[in-house]
Structure 1
Amino acid sequence: MKVVLAPMEGLVDDVMRDILTRLGGVDLCVSEFIRVTSTLLPVKMFRRMVPELEQGAQTHAGTPVRVQLLGSDPACMADNAARAAELGAPAIDLNFGCPAPTVNRHRGGAVLLDEPELIHAIVAAVRAAVPRRIPVTAKMRLGYSDKSPAFDCARAIEAAGAAELTVHARTKVEGYRPPAHWDWLARIRETVSLPLTANGEVWSLADYHGIRDVSGCDTVMIGRGLVAMPDLGRQIRAANLGEPVAPMSWAELMPWVVDFYRQCYAKAPDNKYPVARLKQWLGLMKRTYAEAEQTFAMIKTETDAARLGERLQLLAA
């Protein structure tokens, strides 16, 4: 009954992974995708995207971080997977689910779901390139616009040697619009024998139980839901253990928000990155906390990173 933190480009970076895993209840993380085109990427690229590789491929809480690759060239994907393995990746995850138009135009992510033979070739090449002790896993959606290829894609991933499969229960065209089709996860789980992780539209403890009940999956991957409700993983773990746990209050969460901003500011004090990341997180937390909307309103016009940090400290005091 694991909870996996989803790889979401521009949202779940190493700072967010650090905060959410220290809050508790997350068993595994998958990195933002590393885009592979036609070259062997330099070591610095892997370490920039997954700085946890410098600390045993774990967050500060000790949560493992898998390295995710995205691309369409089997040989180049294999070469880069081998490099990631050499750098200490505990597993290689392959992205066949990203719905971003720019990524899809360059033959990456969900656009490949119309080509199960190519998906098989990519997974097989990566599996052959990394040591057997390192699992190769994959993430996919139900399809690009049509759900019917989902079964062929899942079977192709399994036949190529993947150890696990995560399925986001929507097509690329559906994007992130509700509902997620959890019943399709159950149908795919009956089609393949490799372990299946359920993903899509989990925002609460009730959603977590719902996706498990409908899909039959024990492992659930959560992205925006964990960002919007940062203690959701802790709530899930307590529920699975039969232990009571009170949701975090905004006052309890604010020190974590300050720490998040501090880490973002340390990475890039002289540009817009820390300001934009804080506003992005508060924007998602509005779904759970009325206070997040109030905090956002207080700082939304601030563009100076240093002043924003000072204001945030005062709000948390």
Structure 2
Amino acid sequence: MNNTQHPDLLPVQYKIQQLFSQPVRLLAPMEGLSDPLMRQILTQIAYDLGRPYDWSVSEFIRVTQHVLPAHVFYKYVPELHNDAKTAIGTPIHVQLLGSEAQLMAENAAYACELGAPAIDINFGCPAKTVNSHRGGSVLLDEPAVLYEIISAVRQAVPAHIPVSAKIRLGYTDTSRMDDIRSAIADSGADWLTIHARTKTQGYKPPAYWEKIQTFNSLKIPVIANGEIWTTEQAHACMQQSGTAHLMLGRGAITRPDLVARVDNLMDNLINSSADNSVNTTAGNARELSWQALIPHQIKFLEGQAKSEVILVGRYKQWLGMLTKGYSEAQTLWDDIKREKNKTAIITALKMSAQ
């Protein structure tokens, strides 16, 4: 079934037109990385730089045997207490992962009762533990199941609330791409996000952005994702994929100003001279210096966590990724990599600005 056969779904089409009236920039769901604290920090930075994310997607909520209680949804998406938005107003879409269509539909409906502004369905997670329990990217080998899950969720969710899906190009290879595209086309999904690699390819470069092109024949917006660390890669991704819509993942954690720099690149391209000469690496006021990033790192270290040990571990994970974007981060990492005291780390962080 497709949306044209369901007059009761028409209200959501107006919302889709509004959401995608301009190229969208999304913060990706990344298990163990883009938790509520990280979302709070990254969306605040993007807002301060003048290019807020259009929305972010939560880490996946695993659906297995029953409708989850409210406290589980609030654990993964505490923003539901705040109109499903971060402190600066970035909407958070709720992502679900599972293989039982009816159970996914019931959980999606309940998430909407709790205030979810949109439901995203995860068919891209490459984790072995998830795949071995028939979740995430393993379902790309079962396009009929993709169709059943998406269509069941679409029918269960109120007509004004969008339903989207996130996929990879395939599980072990790309041989099922045509079947996957057909399943998505008939499912009633309102848009599709594609990580341009198979499960087997994991996160190893390169991403095969050009393979996204085949999905552009769908009657819904397509969002490209995967291996976007720089403005040059963002530009190449948009050209090769044939879509202007991007989801930023690990690159946004490594360079929290990436979303603003990509937006500035688009402005430069639009305003470039007739010979199409444009500097895709040009710096501007939207870039975030290490000094300007320090208060955000301190705020992260002062955030909520089950324990200081967990918080310090999470910060070191972030700092390790920041070393790819900031030389100062490498120096700080060398100084504090064995430090376990949060106060000592904050002191070292402040000193790194001098």
Amino acid at match of 1:231: D
The offset of 1:311, in angstroms, is: 3.9
Answer whether contact 2:301 2:342 (CA < 8 A) is retained: no
In the other structure, the counterpart of 1:19 is 41
Query: What is residue 186 of structure 1 aligned with on the other side?
Result: 213
The answer to whether residue 345 in structure 2 is matched with residue 308 in structure 1 is yes
Take 2:181 and 2:91, find their aligned partners in 1: how far apart are those partners?
A: 25
Shift of 1:238: 2.5
Residue in 1 that maps onto 2:116:
89
Q: Give the structure-1-normalised TM-score.
A: 0.95
Match of 1:67 among 87, 94, 100: 94
Question: Is 1:56 aligned to residue 83 of structure 2?
Answer: yes
* Distance (whole Å) between structure 1 residues aligned to residue 313 and residue 111 of structure 2: 29
Structure 2 equivalent of residue 122 of structure 1: 149
CA distance in 2, matches of 1:287, 1:174: 21
In the alignment, which of 241, 259, 267 is matched to residue 305 of structure 2?
A: 267
Q: Give SS of 1:272's match.
A: helix
* Conserved 8 A contact 2:224-2:247: yes
* Corresponding residue for residue 288 of structure 1: 325
> What CA distance in whole angstroms lies between the structure 2 residues aligned with 1:20 and 1:160?
33
The answer to which of 71-80 and 151-160 deviates more is 151-160
Residue of structure 1 aligned with 2:138, choices 111, 132, 153: 111
CA deviation after TM superposition for structure 1 residue 309, in Å: 3.8
- 1:316 deviates by 5.0
How far is 1:139 from its partner?
Answer: 0.2
Counterpart of 1:168 (choices 190, 195, 204) is: 195
| 1:277 match: secondary structure | helix
**Number of the residue aligned with 2:241:** 215
Q: CA deviation at 1:98?
A: 0.2
Contact 1:138/1:164 (CA < 8 Å) preserved in 2?
yes
Which of 157-166 and 167-176 deviates more? 157-166
CA contact (8 A) 1:229 1:285 kept: yes
How far 1:304 sits from its partner (Å)?
Answer: 3.0
Aligned-pair CA distance for 1:312: 3.4
SS at match of 1:140: strand
Q: Distance in 2 between matches of 1:316 and 1:43?
A: 43
Supply the AA of the counterpart residue of 2:292: E
CA-to-aligned-CA distance 1:157-186 (integer Å, 9 cap, x gap)? 221100000010000000000010011011
Superposed displacement of residue 19, structure 1 = 1.2
Q: Is this contact kept in 1: 2:332–2:348, CA < 8 A?
A: no
Single out whichever of 251-260 and 239-248 deviates more from structure 2: 239-248
Q: 2:162, 2:305 → 1: CA distance?
A: 31
Contact 2:320 2:333 in 1 (8 A): yes
The AA in structure 2 aligned to 1:136 is: V
Instruction: Measure how far apart 1:315 and its partner are.
Output: 4.1
**Higher mean Cα deviation, 16-25 or 71-80?**
16-25
Structure 1 residue runs without a partner (length 5+): none
Distance 1:110 1:55 in 2: 31
CA distance in 1, matches of 2:309, 2:185: 43
For 1:267, the aligned partner's letter is A
Q: Deviations over 1:94-128 (max 9, x none)?
A: 00000000000111000000000011100111111
Q: CA deviation at 1:48?
A: 0.6
Cα offset, 1:314, TM superposition:
4.6
What is the percent sequence identity of the aligned residues? 47
Aligned mates of 1:184, 1:133 — CA distance in 2: 31
Q: Pick from 232, 241, 245: which aligns with 2:284? A: 245
The structure 2 residue matched to 1:2, chosen from 9, 20, 24, is: 24
The question of 1:278 aligning with 2:300 is answered: no
Corresponding position of 1:236: 262
Indicate conservation of the 8 Å contact 1:262/1:309, yes or no: no
* Structure 1 position 156 matched with structure 2 position 183: yes
Q: Note closer, same or farther for the CA distance 1:46–1:316 as it changes in structure 2 (3 Å cut).
A: farther
> 232-241 or 198-207: which moved more?
232-241
In 2, Cα distance between equivalents of 1:248 and 1:160: 41
- In 2, the alpha carbon distance for the partners of 1:79 and 1:312 equals 46
Q: How many residues align structurally? A: 313
